[in-house]
Chains A and B, each alone.
Chain A
Amino acid sequence: MSSWLDYTINGLIVGNVYALVAVGLALIFGVSRLINFAQGSIYLVGAYIGWVAVVQLHTPLPLTIIVVAVAAALVGLIIERFGLRPLQNSVRIAPLLATIGISFVLDQLVMLTFSPNPRALPSQLPDVRFQVGGGTIGPLDLLIAGVGLTSALLLFVFLRYSKLGWAVRAASQDRDAAMQMGVDVNRVNQAVFGIAAALGGVSGMLVGMYYNQIDTAMSLQATLKGVVAEVVGGAGNVPGAVIGSLLLGLVESYGVAVFGTSYRNLFAFLLLVVVLVLRPNGLFASARQAPPEPLTGTFIAPSRPVPIPRWALLAAAAIFAILPLFPVSFYVLQTLINAWLLGMLALSLTLVAGTIGQVSLGHAALLAIGAYTSALLSLTFSAPVGLAIIGGGLMSAALGTALISPSFRLRGHYVSIATLAIGEIVSLVILNWESVTRGPIGISGIPPLSLFGYELISPTSIYWFSFVVMVTLALLQGRLLSSHLGRSFRAIRDDDIAARAYGLSLNRYKSLAFIFGGFAAGISGGIAAHLYSYINHETFNTQQSILALTVVILGGLGNVVGAIVGAVALVGLPEMFRIAAEYRILIYGIVLLLLVRFRPQGLLGTM
């Protein structure tokens, strides 16, 4: 029985750590309705500033905290002023993409300055341990709990009783009305970003000290867990974020207790999905709270698609079709194959995110389902590769739609968070379901692509194969969009209440969109599996999902040609920057930011 006490304490301790990130995220969400993907990067920056202060400058702890808080707040202010404020009159999705770009840039800057090697960040507190149950806790645990709770409390008081706090809340409820009442919205945003960043920086430093280890990979993990905790507690709700974090820590700890370590994150993400399905506004949302703003309508750019004449499309398709006949290197062909595969994924995502407005952040899961199905069909049942790939597409359509269906009743950002969680769950099931997926060992020896008994192994033939598949899917999707069904999809995106009033069954249409989208993504995953010959649970990861969303937003939401153009650009750009070696991802991040800044509705506009 005493073990349960230990699991409880451990859960609370790690929940404490999550709370530090979640509070900052909640604050920003509360005001700007923005999931700040750069929060993890500020946390990273804070950790490294802390390292400089402690190891190089030998500052005492209180001074270290002040230095880190001030420096991180400055970073937050810079992000707000130069990264987000220029976007405030553009579409709501632009700042989201901008925070992703900013996080690339910050992470890369830290990596280039400090090298990717992990560093020790020694704790400056005395090393005494207090016995609690079967384990011990140290002063740092108490400090982290103290910082988490105090900051949540201070923020609560600030928002409720101070004038600036009222302004923050007014701005979060209705920005335009607040402005008319004389609230300086920019100052409010600045204050919020400064506070959230200071908190993020200090938490990175404290967590670094806690583990005596900081490295550049900590940023994405911090963001993921912080987002989960925040949403469980109720997005934008500061005390809720703290309780959500503690709950997340407990669920993880009990998950480890009952099923073992490798199931840990599975429980974290299952908790999230269950909470979202049962209480879409989070556990601690008050009944009076306004419903979460839909992503639709205000969120997606009301722009017109860039008109592209039919002859130009045909010409471009013809050029790409005959490209391998010219002396083009296999490297260029392979890069374009990657672009076509990403293009299929983007077609799928642009349909569900752009056309029907369900912004999915877990799309890599559909790739994985398609890839594993196709690989296993061809290996275990010796199915012909062509059929196996179609089987992968069908499985991805069926299973993907079934998995995503609980989130159909969600709206706005919550769809993204739920799909993010579902994506993680799929990846963890692949890792743990060893009898079928072979777990971490992965599946090797997947047969190469073949069609009617002919093996497609030269880059030229793979190029043509993937190009034809992608163009076929694109044509089908174009046809779909101009049909009655496509118009219904867009009607649901633009105003789901009106669509429902008009008699459209939302769930059915959302299912249809996911079936079609799941099929395209599954085909892409299936082809990839046969191309790579080896896949495991890491092959289709969260970064792929984020990349796919970036492609879709860049190309223009719902825009079929845009998805393909975006895929070519985002596969091509990092390859073109190869000459810059370690700097290439930094350059990529900056280019992404500039694109968002000057073309927020996407290169080819929303359709």
Chain B
Amino acid sequence: MSNIDRRTLVKGSLAAMMAGAAFSRSAFAQSSEPILLGVSGPLTGPNAQYGTQWKQGFDLALDEIQAAGGINGRKLAYNFEDSQSDPRQSVAIAQKFVSDPRIVLELGDFSSPASMAASPIYQRAGLVQFGFTNSHPDFTKGGDFMWSTSVSQADEQPLLAAYAVKKLGLKKLAVLHLNTDWGRTSRDYFVNAAKEYGAEIAVTEGYIAEERDFRSTLVRVRDANPDGLVLISYYSDGALIARQARQVGLKQVICAASSVYSPKFLELGGEAVEDVHVGTRYFPEDPRPEVQKFIAGFKKKYNGLEPDAFNAYAYDAMNMAAAVVKIGGTDRRAVRDAFMKVKDVPSVIFGAATFDVATRRVKGAMNAELVVRKGQFALWDGKPT
């Protein structure tokens, strides 16, 4: 084979050896070294925006954890490796993390293909994979080292259905959903719950994440003659659909899943998202102390920027990781066991989060029913729109 090839190889093994030397040194170094978490997530590629939001949430949580004295006197830190949400890269990152003895816990990845491709590696090596945005129902079935604080769609969607059907009195719904594992699972839970509450599902339409143009989809929606539109969307596509729905003259009530909860939804949607109803897990005026602390801290750290749902997931995840490591220490197996012991961790999303040991997920997400009024998210006042 060529020289270049051998050179790469030599460089690779040199790097590995140096890394090995670094690990053994860190094993001797005591409490001055921070406790390290591995993060596998997208910093480049099509999902890069979500990785950026994770970072904001992590950094805020870390500031607070450090200010409160860290983990038993040691600092907590993370090592963010960019996976581009690509399974090929997330498996390499997984091997990197499991063979780095400093890493006590792994967070991520973002998409299901990237996360679940890495799961077998984490499971076999005995390093917890803490997938805090992994709502895929099979994610935690990967093994007893897979834990998730992602709100189960079995929990979230009935809440949204109750908002749409019971509170807003919608009887005939059109559901538009992202055609991903998340959107598809969510849609099924939503449809079941809505039917149970007595609503009729007029039409469901799945669209791919890159879609920008929804005009023809909205003609289908119009022809099905619903009295409400339900968006199982992220904020960017949710805003696009709302805008185009208003442009083509659809005046029905719009209800959206909590994933659109972001200042970007208001910015991108403009006037079109006025009066859109959103079921969320928290809201700015929420009196709960953990929410107030999160929002105030976030705005202070990021020049007045409003946090969004993904910021909150990441912030909660880092706090949960800190709580777990406080109990479990730096032994990986003990960290796994700590997930079973940890109780009532203050959480923006759950209020107080405790894992269900059987499913390795957290139940009982908080619920807030919001509506966009004058370009702001506000608690719904009970008035129909």
A contact set with B: CB distance below 8 Å: 3, 6-7, 10-11, 13-14, 17, 108, 111, 115-120, 122, 129, 131, 134-136, 138, 211-213, 215-218, 220-221, 252-253, 256-257, 260-262, 264-265, 306, 308, 312-313, 315-317, 319-320, 323, 326-335, 338, 341-342, 431, 439-442, 444-445, 448, 457, 459, 531-536, 538-539, 543, 561, 564-565, 568-569, 571-572, 574-576, 578, 581-582, 584-585, 603-604
Contact = CB atoms under 8 A, between A and B. Distances in A.
Given A7-B216, A308-B2, A334 B95 contact: yes
Given A134-B222, A316-B6, A329-B95, A120 B216 contact: no
Contacts of B51: 116
Which of A441, A448, A543, A581 has the most B CB atoms < 10 Å from its CB? Answer: A441
Given A120-B270, A260-B220, A582-B82, A569 B117 contact: no
Given A122-B270, A265-B208, A533-B142, 16 more contacts: A6-B216, A116-B49, A119-B267, A135-B248, A212-B268, A218-B212, A256-B216, A261-B214, A308-B2, A328-B12, A334-B91, A334-B94, A342-B88, A431-B208, A534-B119, A574-B89
A572 B270 contact: no
A285 to B, nearest CB: 28
A440 B15 CA distance: 39
Contacts of A575: 89, 92
Nearest to A216: B48
B17 A138 contact: no
A538 B86 CA distance: 9
A115 B216 CA distance: 31
A490 to B, nearest CB: 22
Contacts of B27: none
- Tell me what chain A mostly uses at the interface: helix, strand, loop, or mixed: helix
B11 A329 contact: no
A535 B113 contact: yes
B332 to A, nearest CB: 15
A326 B240 contact: no
B81 interface: yes
B88 A534 contact: no
Interface string B74-101: 0000001110101111011011101100
A13 B215 contact: yes
Given A134-B222, A252-B216, A329-B20, A118 B208 contact: no
A304 B117 CA distance: 41
B219 A442 contact: no
Interface in B240-269: 240, 243, 247-249, 264, 267-269
Contacts of A332: 12-13, 16
In the complex, the 3 A-B pairs of residues with the closest C-beta atoms, listed nearest first:
A316-B1, A532-B117, A534-B116
B303 to A, nearest CB: 14
B92 A338 contact: yes
B340 interface: no
A225 to B, nearest CB: 10
Nearest to A326: B13
A264 B96 CA distance: 40
| A131, A261, A334 interface centre (most CB from chain B within 10 Å) | A261
Contacts of B212: 211, 213, 218, 221
B334 interface: no
Contacts of B116: 444, 532-534
A334 B1 contact: no
Contacts of B84: 585
A162 to B, nearest CB: 35
B46 A118 contact: no
A255 to B, nearest CB: 8
A261 B175 CA distance: 12
B170 to A, nearest CB: 21
B343 interface: no
B322 interface: no
B88 to A, nearest CB: 5
B43 interface: yes
B216 A213 contact: no
B19 A257 contact: no
A215 B239 CA distance: 13
Contacts of A261: 176, 205-207, 211, 214, 216-217, 220
B210 A217 contact: yes
A10 B216 contact: yes
A193 B5 CA distance: 37
Nearest to B244: A211
B249 A135 contact: yes
Interface stretch (B161-169, B177-185, B189-197, B279-287): B177-185
A568 B94 CA distance: 19
Contact of B49 (A118, A212, A440, A457): A118
Contacts of B374: none
Contact of B111 (A131, A444, A538, A585): A538
Contacts of B184: 439-441
Given A117-B264, A536-B181, A331 B215 contact: no
Contacts of A569: 4-5, 8
Contacts of B89: 574-575
B103 to A, nearest CB: 12
B178 to A, nearest CB: 9
A6 B191 CA distance: 28
B70 interface: no
B82 A584 contact: yes
Nearest to A306: B2
B112 interface: yes
B52 interface: yes
A439 B183 CA distance: 12
Given A136-B249, A316-B1, A330-B95, A257 B216 contact: yes
A222 to B, nearest CB: 10
Given A338-B92, A441-B184, A531-B117, A215 B16 contact: no
B213 interface: yes
6 contacts: A118-B268, A136-B248, A320-B9, A444-B138, A565-B1, A581-B82
B264 A118 contact: yes
A589 to B, nearest CB: 11
A323 B46 CA distance: 35
B8 A572 contact: yes
Contacts of B176: 261
A308 B3 CA distance: 10
Nearest to B137: A441
B177 to A, nearest CB: 10
A440 B215 contact: no
A440 B141 CA distance: 18
A216 B82 CA distance: 17
Contacts of B381: none
B113 A534 contact: yes
A448 B99 CA distance: 20
B270 A582 contact: no
B95 A212 contact: no
A331 B96 contact: yes
Contact of B8 (A111, A253, A439, A568): A568
B120 A459 contact: no
B215 A10 contact: yes
Contacts of B9: 319-320, 323
Contact of B6 (A216, A319, A331, A439): A319
Given A215-B236, A603-B2, A445 B91 contact: no
B383 interface: no
Contacts of B25: none
Interface in B1-50: 1-2, 4-6, 8-9, 11-13, 15-17, 19-20, 43-46, 48-49
A572 B136 CA distance: 31
Contacts of A316: 1, 5-6
Contact of A532 (B5, B111, B113): B113
Contacts of A572: 8, 12
Contact of A445 (B52, B141, B210, B267): B141
A440 B181 contact: yes
Nearest to A138: B247
Contact of A561 (B1, B119, B183): B1
